[in-house]
A and B are shown apart, each in its own frame.
Chain A
Amino acid sequence: MDQRVILQEQVREAYAQSRVLHIQGSGSKAFYGRRVRHGEPLRMRGHQGVVDYEPSELFITLRAGTTLQNLQAQLAEAGQILPFEPPFFGAEATIGGTLACGFSGPRRPYAGSARDYVLGVQLLNGQGEILRFGGQVMKNVAGYDVSRLLVGSLGTLGVLLEVTLKVLPRPEQELTLVQELPMAAAIIQMNQWAAQPLPVSASAWYDNYLYLRLSGAAKAVEAAGRKIGGEVLSAADAFWTDLREQRHGFFQGDASLWRLALAPASPPLPLPEPTLIEWGGGQRWLRGHQDAAALQGVAAKYGGHATLFRGEDASGEVFHPLSPPLLALQQRLKKAFDPRGILNPGRLYAAL
């Protein structure tokens, strides 16, 4: 039987009885968001498979329960990639969960984020209606951009059933260079590179070393590598994968993990904790206990926000507080999709 029908039936019933649903992929990202206990599981894993893939059209349409592993294997066969390089955080991670969390990896500042690559979705709203927005073409401005709105909404607006993503050819060559630099100088350097027409595809700084990945046509990568200089990192793929999957040494241990998203050129923050920087300075990780309000204040000062990514007590708020008018607006939006508040309520904010 079509899984879609089963899922729709379950949402309809939950709606009729105002019962809370807990949307589940493989559970690889259960750590993310607020801790919510109650709710009956809505299992997405059975709803999997590629629906339509046309490498020459640069898109793939797939069911939300398809694993990232499966997706990437299919793309690799045709020499293509998911440009936003999402982290898996688990072998069975699904594309639906990845998009619901809005996660992107090292390529993000240079190629775009998860939402940038979503072309269309099919979803179940909180009344159990199956709706389609967007499509399989690159340009489409018919109706509001619901597809992208759903990315990062943590399942609180709708259940992703099917998604269409834009894909791109795999770069011909990659090269990672390492330079020894203190944090402040590294941030300046990453931003200077980003302001030049160089084929940069990833950057990171940790413990006095700056890592830079170049991707593109072989000749372009070689020329840029000569211009930039530094030591060539061997086993570079493993380095970026470990970083993306948070298996890098920095992420080991139980101390809580905070994520700061900032204007990339922000200087080193006045915080004593160990820091790892990604995304040309735009994404910064901190370990250890933090005073949430103080950290959020610092992040806001640099045009950004702070998230308790892992650890500590996640039963309070874990995301940066919203201004009152934005929170009120988002509550109304939540209602517009899920009038009875049955889809992952409280996972994003207590009030959504």
Chain B
Amino acid sequence: MAGDGGSGQDAFLDALRAALPDDALLIHEEDLHPYECDGLSVLKALPLAVALPHNREQVQAVLKVCEQFGIGVVPRGAGTGLSGGARPSAGAIVLSLARLKQMLAVDTHNRSARVQPGVRNLAISEAVRPLGLYYAPDPSSQIACTIGGNVAENSGGVHCLKYGLTVHNVLALEVLDASGELLHIGSQAPDSPGYDLLALMMGSEGLLGVVTECTLRLLPVPENTLVILAAFSSVVAAADAVSAIIAAGIIPAGLEMMDQLAITAAEDFVHAGYPRDAAAILLCELDGSEAELQVRLHAVENLLEEHGAGSIRIARDAETRLLLWKGRKAAFPAVGRLAPDYYCMDGTIPRKRLAEVLEQIAAWSAEYGLQVANVFHAGDGNLHPLILYDANIDSQLQAAEAFGQRILELCVAVGGSITGEHGVGVEKLDSMCAQFTPAELAQLHRIKAAFDPEGRLNPGKAVPSLHRCAELGAMHVHHGQLPFPELERF
């Protein structure tokens, strides 16, 4: 139907209009522009329409109309995703969950919160803080991103090293499938009968169902917290210190690393008090009882010194701790001020390969003539190289993409993954061909079909078609035959 424009499309829009209140449907081009991309702004497309339902019944109505007309649906939270997951697909509508933003209930006895999917991540912890509880996963985008988006991406944050990812902190979901049928997945109990659909929903990028409610596990706020800031004169030394801390059996609440470019950018932006002359810094958060902290702090300090930390600062009071984290959490926008554009990569590697992978990235940076800032979840081996470029300079975007693709292939080659937390979206469809075999991809497509046989939920995302990978394979052969930089990608 999407393709035949004209009357079919009109009938579809009429049906949507009939199913929704006036303020819940956008169809005029000027209103659609804010929805043409997510945080990966190089990938843009206009949706057919944007539905902004107020409640589950309206979401259900939208899904039913789309089913009737065979129209694709792209769910959207806050649009902070970095892989094009919420970017409109051709001929599809965008279904925004942003207005479903009520905190429905907090169960203090069972330590859980029931919220609508459009609730912002940070709002949850803020709301339950007076009860001495919080929601652990804290992506750097937490002031803006929604819990529905977090579920769809299985988002992590600086504290997931110790407290886990979204998958470890969600108890139950209410989901609508592609035809609008309501599914209750998971429960307040420790497990549920049958297959673990809850795990399957996490990180499914809006391809398996639309999340309309989430029940989250809340944790007690730690008794004491401190943050250690350690400065190093080389990236390699900092990376080695990271491995040494984990190898010593210490699991910090967070263990993050920033390199010189990121440090300077963050410092200029938020004045967190980072040492500008350091080649790299580590931010290490420890939490626990006072007695425990003393022991751990001592051990970590020793390890940091052994690995050549030049200066070590310890922040105990909340204000200084938050300031140190603020620099880290604002690092992406801060780096964004250094160049007209930046490309944020997201790959994971075994921790012990950190130093060599960072060195290789630095070497490629020189080769491509594009600066790279590194700010990332070191404890998890989750890299976020930010490649700086200027889209107005011919071929810089292509160079940045080629550089990024090489980084991801390196991640796979050293035993890691092409995405740790930002998802595949549209951006990494080609990289998926490097990580999975055709049989594995076919299995993933069969899972999708079990939920959404018509393939209408977030079409064209997350799992590449076998055809696409086959064509890409042919392209890789060309790579070997032709000089690389001159090669057009498509």
B406-447 CB mask vs A (1 if < 8 Å, else 0) is: 000000000111111111100010011001110110011011
Evaluate contact between A326 and B183: CB separation under 8 angstroms. Answer: yes
**Which residues does chain B contribute within 8 Å of A138, judged by CB atoms?**
160-161, 348, 380-382
A selection of 7 A-B contacts at a CB cut-off of 8 Å is A137-B348, A137-B420, A144-B447, A196-B132, A198-B220, A320-B193, A330-B194
Contact partner, A265, options B109, B184, B194, Cβ 8 Å: B109
Query: Closest residue of chain B to A187, judged by CB?
Result: B109
Cα distance A135–B160 when bound, in Å? Answer: 17
Cα distance A139–B196 when bound, in Å? Answer: 19
**Which residues does chain B contribute within 8 Å of A20, judged by CB atoms?**
none
Cα distance A283–B110 when bound, in Å? Answer: 13
**Which residues does chain A contribute within 8 Å of B185, judged by CB atoms?**
326
* Residue among A220, A279, A307, A319 facing the most chain B CB atoms (10 A cut-off): A220
- Taking Cβ atoms with an 8 Å cutoff, the residues of A that contact B are 54-58, 79, 102, 108-109, 112-113, 115-116, 125, 129-133, 135-146, 148-149, 151-153, 157, 168-169, 191, 194-199, 216-220, 222-224, 261-265, 279, 282-283, 302-305, 307, 319-323, 325-327, 329-330, 332-333, 335-337, 348-349, 352
Interface residues on B, range: 35 or more
**Which residues does chain A contribute within 8 Å of B463, judged by CB atoms?**
143-144
Cα distance A320–B191 when bound, in Å? Answer: 12
**Which residues does chain A contribute within 8 Å of B191, judged by CB atoms?**
102, 113, 152, 261
Please give 5 more A-B residue pairs, beta carbons under 8 A apart, in addition to A136-B415, A263-B188: A137-B349, A196-B220, A198-B220, A261-B191, A326-B185
Contact partner, B204, options A144, A153, A191, Cβ 8 Å: A144
**Which residues does chain A contribute within 8 Å of B448, judged by CB atoms?**
144
Cα distance A115–B420 when bound, in Å? Answer: 18
Evaluate contact between A319 and B194: CB separation under 8 angstroms. Answer: yes
**Which residues does chain A contribute within 8 Å of B446, judged by CB atoms?**
336-337
Evaluate contact between B203 and A141: CB separation under 8 angstroms. Answer: yes
Contact partner, A305, options B187, B289, B418, Cβ 8 Å: B187
Q: B278 CB to closest chain A CB, in angstroms?
A: 25
Evaluate contact between B352 and A223: CB separation under 8 angstroms. Answer: no
Evaluate contact between B450 and A336: CB separation under 8 angstroms. Answer: yes
**Which residues does chain A contribute within 8 Å of B247, judged by CB atoms?**
55-56
Evaluate contact between B416 and A149: CB separation under 8 angstroms. Answer: no
Cα distance A325–B178 when bound, in Å? Answer: 13
Cα distance A322–B165 when bound, in Å? Answer: 27
Contacting residues of chain B (438-490) with chain A, CB-CB under 8 angstroms: 439-440, 443-444, 446-451, 462-463
B308 contacts partner chain A, Cβ-Cβ < 8 Å? no
Q: B205 CB to closest chain A CB, in angstroms?
A: 8
Evaluate contact between A282 and B251: CB separation under 8 angstroms. Answer: no
Evaluate contact between A142 and B419: CB separation under 8 angstroms. Answer: yes
**Which residues does chain B contribute within 8 Å of A135, judged by CB atoms?**
415-417
* Residue among B164, B290, B291 facing the most chain A CB atoms (10 A cut-off): B291
* Residue among B132, B164, B288, B432 facing the most chain A CB atoms (10 A cut-off): B288
- Report if A148-B200 is in contact (Cβ < 8 Å); known contacts: A217-B296, A336-B446: yes
- Report if A168-B251 is in contact (Cβ < 8 Å); known contacts: A142-B428, A143-B463, A217-B296: yes
Query: Closest residue of chain A to B423, judged by CB?
Result: A141
**Which residues does chain B contribute within 8 Å of A307, judged by CB atoms?**
193
Q: B60 CB to closest chain A CB, in angstroms?
A: 13
